[in-house]
Amino acid sequence: MILLLVILLSPFVAAALTPLVARVLGTRTGWWAAAVALGNTLALLSLLPDILHGTTLTYTLPWIPVLDANLTLMVDGLSLFFALLISFAGCLIMAYGRFYLDPREEHGKFFAYMLLFMGSMLGVVLTGNLIALFVFWELTSLSSFLLIGFWDHREASRYGATQALLVTGGGGMAMLIGFILLHQVTGSWDMQSVLSQGDIIRASPLYLPILGLVFLGCMTKSAQTPFHFWLPNAMEAPTPVSAYLHSATMVKAGLYLVARLHPALSGTEAWVYLVGGVGILTLCVGGFLALAQDDLKALLAYSTVSQLGLIMALYGLGTREGVVAGSFHLMNHAAFKAALFLCVGNVEHETGTRRLSQLGGLWRAMPWTGVFTLVSAAAMAGLPPFGGFVSKELFYAATLDVTGGAERVLLPVLAVAGSAFTFAYSLRLVYGVFFGEPGHPPKHPHEAPLGMLWSPFILAALNPFLGLWPAPADHFLLEPMASGILRQNVHVHLALWHGFGAPLLMSVIAIAAGLILYPAWLGIQRWQGDVFSRFSLEGTYKGSLQVLSRSGRDVSLWLQSGFLRQYLLWILSFLSLVVLSTFIWNRVSLIPVEARSVLSYEGILLILTVVTTIAVVFAPRPLPAVILLGGVGFLVGILFILLYAPDLALTQILIETVSLVLFLLVIYRLPPFIPEQASRGRLLRDGLLATVVGGAVSAVVLATAGQGYFPSIAEFFLRESVPGGGGRNVVNVILIDFRGYDTLGEVTVLAIALLGVFTLLSRKDTR
Amino acid sequence: MTTLLAVTIGVLFGTGAFLVLRRNALKVIIGLSLISHGANLLLVTSGGFAGNRPPIIGPGGGVYVDPLPQALVLTAIVISFGVTAFLVVLLYRLYQRTGTVDMDQIRRLRG
Amino acid sequence: MKALVVLPVLIPLATAIVTIFLGRSLRGKILVSLVGGGATFASALLILRSVWSWGTVVHVMGSWSPPFGIILVADLLSSGMVVLSSGVALVTLCYSVGYVDEEGQRLTYHPLFHLLMMGIYGAFLTGDIFNLFVFFEILLISSYALVAFAGEDYQLEASLKYATINMIASAVFLLAVGGLYGVMGTLNMADLSLKIGGLQEPGPLPTIFLLFIAVFGVKASLFPFYFWLPDAHSSAPTPISAILSGVLIKVGAYSILRVSSVIFVPLRPGAQEWILALAAVTMVVGAYGALAQSDVKRLLAYSSVGQMGYIILGIGIGTPLAWVSTLLFIVNHALSKAMLFLTAGVVIEATGTREMGSMGGLARQMPWTAGAFLIGAMGIAGVPPLLGFFAKFLLIQAALEAGHGFLAALAAGLAIVSLWYLFAAWQQIFWREGSGHALHPAPRLMKGSGLVLAGVIVVGTIFLNPLVNFLRAVEAQLRQPEAYVTAVFREAPPVTASTVEPK
């Protein structure tokens, strides 16, 4: 199915073309992006018949076959649902964005990023290869970074962008390690193969690390407590971005992966406690925090956190009912939350504020936006006759199904509590904005333009549709999706009315509790700070960044202090440590090869060299120091004679003379030695180090010089010098013939030194 | 012989090491020169002292010493001279521009 | 065909000589210099092609067969490295024409640049351990001169510290060579490989191996030898920073890989823990240092330290996968970091400052540069889908498979740190309100050079499969030191055959 590849790649190609398109279309570029998304939606719909037959469509584009990292596309009910959601929501939101964005803003850049995101997100849900999935997963983080920071002149935007990138990126790294471990267990990067090895994975000792690490990635991406803090900060993005990435699609990537890996990882207690537990906790924490927000987008962000927690909890139950309920709620959430974001976008656009404290009584000014908000909020609150009611009932039923100890009681209670919060903040949203006392917004409110009403209308209209007539969604989307997750045929029968029973009772309790909670929101606001910091890692995030950058400064100032001697101290101590410790460790023999004994004049010469060398240290002024250095050089030259190296001696003495002249020329212009002012302790330390360095070098000489495990290749030079090289002086023949490259290099070094000196001296204080 | 030379080489390296840890940049360069001397001497020593005549082919008895290390040292001497000369001029320029040869003052680059 | 191998050494040398003698003719110098750079790159490609088709090529200098004469050996690793570095050098050379002041170009910039490259290519190609020292000195002294090229105070300071540390390293190099010769009696790498393979008692050899690693570690900026790097790489003229960070420090990594895959094969396990420990600390130190910087070039320099940690970590882990990841890291870092330096140079030229805090809002005026910098940042931080991600991914996988869970976690964690500082830098430079100062547009040649490298990264990402395939072939070749030895002695059946047995 090459169509799959076209579907995946078209947003990327379109994104690349968008800057060009924007030159022609200008502020109408949004239509172009929406058209691409619409095309994708239609193409995806054409796959539906195959999927309904239970086929899994695949297509493989080899990318890096040697690493098994291929663009393997795999479409089943789960993938198709997500892909449709991404394309369809993308189409509506980009059409909306065309009106939302100010004509003076960079439409080309905005929609290029949006399309880039759309492609990446499609990649996440369409690929059946773990490496490729990870690649797209990170690309969504990257495009989210670019989009959150779209208004880059705002400090808060930049902060939110970086935070989202680092938190999801960090989770991503954990997930990558999890994937690699998964690969170690299954021997495959291919999703189909991994999914079919669930039993092997669960039996592996690596199961818990894999589950934990992969789930960490899902938690950060889907803003689960305690990583939920990045999502409210991401609300600095333009509202279409919030609606698209941060409520409808990207934050569901974690849910997608949990659903996708269901057959491989679920079915253990660890799964239930981890995934279910985190989900339920997120549901309550998010709901609680949402109720107390003043900023409408923050309210929606926390509400998204809470709803994602709900879906996560349902998937975490690990039961068929849980999967069905979770999947259906995912659909509902996409519909009502995207609509709510767009409605809030309208309110912000027309009134100039998102603060509940400045809003109120907009019902008359913005009736359409009001109706759409009301419908969507009712769906969110779980009221009939909307889809949200149906999924909430399924949720209650699923929690009642759980067998076990404490969680049998705890789960339904927490479910009701979470829903009570949902009801309360939904009520607050609708009442606070559209009813009650008129507020004092910066702009005089009136209804949004038609272009900004279509998209929320379509999205809001889905809610009663899903509630009153769930059969199409059930048959065409939910059943294939649940079948895809569980990898077996699932039949679902959804209905608005389930009869009187425990779930309905729980609904009633939740609504009643919500009605009581609603007036309490002011009180909650007062102590939210405490609770907030307890459940969120934002403090840890900020703290660790701070600690890192502060300690980074300290550590690098300590290491890179600017004092050359400190660097050399490190280097010399480490080198001595290497030599001495390995000599001791390997018990290297230090017995030297003594080919001959020392003649008396040799001994005197050596002692003289040693004395002169040490005397350099005590030279009070540059001149004696340099002369003593020259002395050492000449002594070494004489030593060379004794070592039967006449050429060396000659060269050494020649070079030493030139060096001495050069030194003398320069010290003539240099100041006298500054007093060392080194403490006694430092002198002692340096002296000790010098001794150790000297000892280490001596040890190397003793252990190696003339040890000759093998005969030297020098025999050859001695033999061939006259016949082959045509010279009696073997050293010379080696230099110009046998090892001519060395000599070439040596001359080159001299030439470079000359060039360097020339450069230094001719650069008279210019740039 | 090897032992005594090993000690001499050790002293050259050790003294050099002590000097490069000083404040005065000239001392640092002098220290480097001492270390270079030590390294050159070490190379010659590495061949051992099995011979008793210089490696110049000619009549007469005796064992030639290993010529290869000598050739290497010749190269090394010239190279270390080149580098030292460059360093000395570099130091001179540095002093011209900043008026100091105190390594404790030459630490604009840090952190 | 065999004489081809000598071209990467001779062409730069010839180019340097010609540019010296061209006097003050600027156009002539530039022309010769660019032609020389292009010819070197072309010759490198030819060498790689013939190595790929016919196996390792050995060029014997003069008529003296190994192990007596000096040889140049082009196997897949060395010829690949020459291609990579000469390509980066060519782009950088074009950039230099726009960047370096006319006086400097008239003076000695071009000869020094080519001599630096000559030393680098020679170090990659030589098959003799002492000759490696000589080429090291060539590349070192020309880089000292180039770091100090513009003669600013801080450049002189950086050059002084760089030269001092490396002179000590050179003495240690001689110490190690002397020790090796004293024990083994030979200098040819293949000959050494042959002889060490037959040795029962390693004696002082493990220590000598570690000394070599330390010496190369100074070039590769391993902890605790890296101190010169943040100063030198940030102070040098920008194109030289690109060469130093992109190419020169890889010589250190290359040499470690070379001696441990050819010469000291049996001793590798003993050195592993040292290498791993040093690499891990280097990664941390580099990341830490980069966090604290406000100067864009210094930040990039520190990031190089961290990246070298990753590269050496792969060498230390030592499995085939780890080495492939090391090679991929080398390719990625050479391209990405060179590109980042070149792009940073464009930005510095435009704003007249290196402080990121004084920049800002440049994405609007310089969208291409912003994009290129972002690609570089993604590459270094290992953000998919670029090369850098796969390098990081393979390294983590290799670490996990070899049972180094802690190192894998460290590598992953530090990847997030590098993501942070690089993206924060990108934000500071390209986002925010602009400073409002007028920008001096950089020459097109400078902007274009960065974009070319960005393009190469993208193309490399698309054609990752052939690249990874090639790197696997390189790695496979490194696993067969016998093949290296055979190739070297193919000409002259080892005269040493009788002497392979220890005395």
pLDDT in tens, B6-23: 999 999 999 999 999 999
Q: b/e for C84-115, b at 16 or more Cβ within 10 A?
A: bbbbbbbbbbbbbbbbbeeebbbbbbbbbbbb
Specify the pLDDT at position C493.
Answer: 54
Cβ–Cβ < 8 Å for A569, B110: no
Specify the pLDDT at position C492.
Answer: 59
Q: Which of A651, A706, A731 sits opposite B48 (nearest CB)?
A: A706
Confidence of residue C502 (pLDDT cuts 50, 70, 90): low
Interchain contact C4–B (C-beta under 8 A)? no
**Preferred mutation among A168, A213, A572, A713 to probe C, highest tally of C CBs within 10 A:** A713
Q: Do C214 and A570 touch (CB under 8 A)?
A: no
Confidence of residue A404 (pLDDT cuts 50, 70, 90): low
Q: Average pLDDT of chain A?
A: 92
- Chain B residues touching A563 at Cβ < 8 A: 103-104, 107
Average pLDDT over residues A656-680: 89
C-alpha A231/C-alpha A293 separation (Å) is: 14
Longest dimension (CA), chain B: 65
Interchain contact B106–A (C-beta under 8 A)? yes
| Closest residue by Cα to residue A116 from A84, A88, A92, A138 | A138
Cβ–Cβ < 8 Å for A275, A258: yes
> Dihedral, CA atoms, A184, A180, A254, A140, nearest 10 degrees?
-150
Q: Which C residues 420-449 touch A at CB under 8 Å?
A: 420, 423-424, 427, 431-433
Confidence of residue A532 (pLDDT cuts 50, 70, 90): low
pLDDT at residue A485 is higher than 50: yes
Q: Do B51 and A644 touch (CB under 8 A)?
A: yes
Chain C residue with minimal CA distance to B2? C182
Q: Do B89 and A757 touch (CB under 8 A)?
A: yes
Sign of CA dihedral A670, A675, A681, A684: positive
Specify the pLDDT at position A766.
Answer: 44
Angle at C218 between CA C216 and CA C223, to 5 degrees: 115
Q: What percent of chain C has pLDDT over 70?
A: 97
Confidence of residue A171 (pLDDT cuts 50, 70, 90): very high
Of the two residues A532 and C151, the one the predictor is more confident about is C151
Of the two residues B33 and A446, the one the predictor is more confident about is B33
Q: Average pLDDT of chain C?
A: 93
Specify the pLDDT at position C249.
Answer: 96
Neighbours of chain A (3+ CB pairs under 8 A): B, C
Q: Do C142 and A738 touch (CB under 8 A)?
A: no
How far is A750 from chain B, CA to nearest CA, in Å?
A: 5
Specify the pLDDT at position C1.
Answer: 66
Q: Do B68 and C181 touch (CB under 8 A)?
A: yes
Interchain contact A667–B (C-beta under 8 A)? yes
| Closest residue by Cα to residue C248 from C60, C85, C30, C371 | C85
Determine phi and psi for B49, rounding to 5 degrees.
Answer: -120, 50
Q: How far apart are the first and last CA of chain B?
A: 47
Specify the pLDDT at position A368.
Answer: 94
pLDDT digits (tens, 9 = 90+) for C305-361: 999 999 999 999 999 999 999 999 999 999 999 999 999 999 999 999 999 998 988
Cβ–Cβ < 8 Å for A148, A157: yes
Specify the pLDDT at position A533.
Answer: 63
C-alpha A131/C-alpha A127 separation (Å) is: 9
Q: Is A318 left (phi over 0), alpha (psi -120 to 50) or beta?
A: left
C-alpha B66/C-alpha A711 separation (Å) is: 11
**Preferred mutation among B9, B41, B43, B101 to probe C, highest tally of C CBs within 10 A:** B43
Chain B residue with minimal CA distance to C178? B43
Specify the pLDDT at position C499.
Answer: 46
| Closest residue by Cα to residue A622 from B91, C337, C60, C393 | B91
| Closest residue by Cα to residue A30 from A241, A251, A235, A334 | A241
Neighbours of chain B (3+ CB pairs under 8 A): A, C
C-alpha C113/C-alpha A198 separation (Å) is: 59
Cβ–Cβ < 8 Å for A398, A322: yes
Specify the pLDDT at position A706.
Answer: 84
B41: CATH: 1.10.287.3510
C-alpha C338/C-alpha C249 separation (Å) is: 12
Q: Which of C145, C157, C182 sits opposite B46 (nearest CB)?
A: C182
Among all chains, which residue has been given the structure tokens 């995934």? Answer: A275
pLDDT at residue C498 is higher than 50: no
| Closest residue by Cα to residue C287 from C162, C382, C398, C386 | C382
Of the two residues A379 and A724, the one the predictor is more confident about is A379
C-alpha B91/C-alpha C160 separation (Å) is: 7
Specify the pLDDT at position A241.
Answer: 96
Specify the pLDDT at position C442.
Answer: 86
Residues in Cβ contact with C272 at an 8 Å cutoff, skipping those fewer than 6 apart: C316, C318
Specify the pLDDT at position A276.
Answer: 92
Q: Do C137 and B83 touch (CB under 8 A)?
A: yes
**Preferred mutation among B83, B103, B104, B110 to probe C, highest tally of C CBs within 10 A:** B83
Q: Do C224 and A752 touch (CB under 8 A)?
A: no
pLDDT at residue C234 is higher than 80: yes
Q: Which of A162, A549, A710 sits opposite C185 (nearest CB)?
A: A710
Q: Which A residues 125-164 touch C at CB under 8 Å?
A: 131, 134-136, 138-139, 142, 145, 149, 152-153, 158, 161-162
Specify the pLDDT at position C344.
Answer: 96
Flag whether the ipTM exceeds 0.85. yes
The full set of domain ranges for chain C reads: 2-488
Specify the pLDDT at position A728.
Answer: 87
Specify the pLDDT at position A765.
Answer: 55
Cβ–Cβ < 8 Å for C344, C296: yes
Confidence of residue C496 (pLDDT cuts 50, 70, 90): very low
How far is B53 from chain C, CA to nearest CA, in Å?
A: 19
Distance of CA B105 to the CA centre of its chain: 26
How far is C442 from chain B, CA to nearest CA, in Å?
A: 27
Q: Which of B50, B58, B79 sits opposite A595 (nearest CB)?
A: B50
Interchain contact C473–A (C-beta under 8 A)? no
C-alpha A131/C-alpha A101 separation (Å) is: 36
C-alpha A178/C-alpha A214 separation (Å) is: 5
Q: Do B37 and A603 touch (CB under 8 A)?
A: no
Determine phi and psi for B64, rounding to 5 degrees.
Answer: -70, 145
Q: Do A559 and C206 touch (CB under 8 A)?
A: no
Kindly write down the DSSP assignment for every residue of C95-107, as one continuous string.
HHHHHS-HHHIII
Confidence of residue A529 (pLDDT cuts 50, 70, 90): low
Specify the pLDDT at position A153.
Answer: 92
Specify the pLDDT at position A737.
Answer: 87
C-alpha C143/C-alpha A270 separation (Å) is: 58
CB pairs under 8 A between A and B: 303
Of A125-139, A496-510, A746-760, B73-87, which gets the smallest average pLDDT?
A496-510
Confidence of residue C497 (pLDDT cuts 50, 70, 90): very low
How far is C50 from chain A, CA to nearest CA, in Å?
A: 23
Specify the pLDDT at position A439.
Answer: 85
Q: Do B2 and A595 touch (CB under 8 A)?
A: yes
Cβ–Cβ < 8 Å for B72, C130: yes
Q: Do A552 and C291 touch (CB under 8 A)?
A: yes
| Closest residue by Cα to residue A377 from A416, A311, A322, A434 | A434
Chain B residue with minimal CA distance to A572? B17
**Preferred mutation among C20, C24, C108 to probe A, highest tally of A CBs within 10 A:** C108
Interchain contact C179–B (C-beta under 8 A)? yes
- The domain tally of chain B equals 1
Specify the pLDDT at position A767.
Answer: 38
Confidence of residue A342 (pLDDT cuts 50, 70, 90): very high
Domain that holds residue B103: 2-110
Specify the pLDDT at position A499.
Answer: 76
